Structure 1
Amino acid sequence: MNIVVRSLSDQTYEVVRRRILVGAMQPGTAVRQDIIAAELGVSKIPLREALGRLEQDGLLQSYPNRGYVVRDLSTDEASEVFALRLKLEPSAVAEACRRATAKDHAAATAALEALEAELAKPDGDHVSFNRAFHMALVRPGGHITFQLMERLQILAERYVRVHLEPNGRDERASREHREILDAWIQGKAKVVEALTANHIRGTLADLKQQLAG
């Protein structure tokens, strides 16, 4: 019985999460739990579990007597999340490239190819595939590092979607990703660290301009 409930919770989590990340549920929108439950055919228990996880991910905010609301995007939050990524991710990716095996190289290459294929689709889930690629670069560095970086990636996801909206951003991101991956596979740790830092720094600069406007 618990397995079924957990499965329904996971499915509900993925559906609502995707709607938020693709902009189908806009910031400030109230989550109509009755409508979602009826639409997905789930009861209140798995729905509440899913919404609780989404709040932990930073996508929803709960209010007494109001339920859940999609969190607003903010320059302050973006600055905090990406500043933390800038402090931790470049060195984590650089360390991972020193430890990476041929199997890790293949996995990271496949993750980037999957991301590029998703970016080519008009309704692709490029945000999730973007996280998968970045995490493939971190994975060889160790379990705890991976967990910390994954948490930051999750918090950054909806800002990544906003960042990639303007024309040409996906091409630039793909070019930067390819440069990072090539250096990572070659084990050029210092180059990887510098490229990753520039990639994150550029994204944050773009976001500050977008959110301020």
Structure 2
Amino acid sequence: MTGIIVRNLSEQLVDLVRDRILAGKVDVDRAIRQDALAAELGVSKIPLREALTRLEQEGLVRSRANRGYFVRELTIAEAEEVYALRLTLEPDVAAQAAERATEEERAVARQTLAQLDEVTHAHGDGVGAFNRAFHLALLRPSRQPITTTMLERLHVLGERYVRKHLEPLGRDQRANDEHAQLLDCWLARDAAAVRVRMYAHIEQTVLDLRREFRGDTVSVQ
């Protein structure tokens, strides 16, 4: 029983720290203060260090000898890799999901987009998380658990880039319009249209990010 409790704590810490990183609440250019973070979360450093090790495996943080853990910097090279993989996998998986989705899964997709729209219009926190949830709602009904898990990890890695992509004025509304059109095709079980719209939606994000990084001072590796 003790092992189950410890594992649950570790999982909760992974989720909590991941959410903070994805929301941009942890500085990129300074070491994560493990003592302060552990005290704030009410845990010891051991499970926190385990959570940071997990997040390093996910690609969100990196450890440096004798310096601790740092949030990985945003780079165009990483963005290109993440989105190239999404372009290869996601359109076909979403198309299959559209054909296989149950009525309950279709309702989840509708509800998730409504929540994303609400958060976006309120300019509140969590746009990236709801964007990820919406895309995954369009993917999980594909009944391809291995590929969907891979895509889920890509969405986690890409979430900070989504936030960067949506910073310029007007991009959030355009993204919402694209999501609405994509959902309409998905609900109509129009697999061909889903493939086309999903590819175009992801590709546009990459094009926008390239322009942003060209005018940015963020390091490119």
TM above 0.5, one fold? yes
Q: CA deviation at 1:64?
A: 1.6
Q: 1:121 to 1:7 in 2, by over 3 A?
A: farther
Aligned pairs (5 A) from 1:165-176: 165-176=167-178
State whether residues 6 and 46 of structure 1, in contact with CA within 8 Å, keep that contact through their aligned partners in structure 2.
no
Matched residue type, 1:9: S
**Residue of structure 1 equivalent to 2:124:** 123
**Residue of structure 2 equivalent to 1:34:** 35
Partner Cα distance (2:8, 2:118) in 1: 28
Q: CA deviation at 1:88?
A: 0.8
SS of the counterpart of 1:28?
coil
SS of the counterpart of 1:160?
helix
SS of the counterpart of 2:189?
coil
SS of the counterpart of 1:23?
coil
SS of the counterpart of 2:31?
coil
Match of 1:212 among 191, 211, 214: 214
Q: Does 1:182 align with 2:184?
A: yes
Q: Does 1:156 align with 2:158?
A: yes
Matched residue type, 1:100: A
Partner Cα distance (2:104, 2:54) in 1: 32
Instruction: Answer with 58-67 or 175-184: which moved more.
Output: 58-67
Question: What residue ranges of structure 2 are gaps of 5+ in the alignment?
Answer: 216-221
Partner Cα distance (2:30, 2:185) in 1: 42
SS of the counterpart of 1:80?
helix
Question: What residue ranges of structure 1 are gaps of 5+ in the alignment?
Answer: none
Partner Cα distance (2:27, 2:122) in 1: 21
- TM-score when normalising by structure 2: 0.91
Q: CA deviation at 1:17?
A: 2.0
SS of the counterpart of 1:84?
helix
**Residue of structure 1 equivalent to 2:75:** 74
State whether residues 138 and 145 of structure 1, in contact with CA within 8 Å, keep that contact through their aligned partners in structure 2.
no
State whether residues 94 and 190 of structure 1, in contact with CA within 8 Å, keep that contact through their aligned partners in structure 2.
yes
Number of equivalent positions? 213
User: Identity over the aligned pairs, expressed in percent?
Assistant: 51
Q: CA deviation at 1:209?
A: 1.2
